[in-house]
Structure 1
């Protein structure tokens, strides 16, 4: 994750994998950002940024 992103994220959306699940959740709590998961079996939703 970026140390100093150039913008304030409103929501961090991740897949349901366990690789970084706890780290991302803690990061989002520390930054005051919502953390949501994509629907299962929908890889087309990975890797998107909405502005």
Structure 2
């Protein structure tokens, strides 16, 4: 499995012209000139705590 999973599109403009940045999980969109970072949080729904019920 690859260390860096590539996003398919920019979360801001929806275009696909993305370049990876040096920082882990960071990407640059050439169309809207924005940088963003992705972070994998886990699989499945988050556990509910007693306070959130």
Q: Which has the higher contact order (CA 8 A, sep 6+)?
A: 1
Which has the greater radius of gyration? 2
Looking at secondary structure, tell me which structure has more helix per residue: 1
Report TM bin, short chain: under 0.3
- TM-score, normalised to structure 1, is 0.24
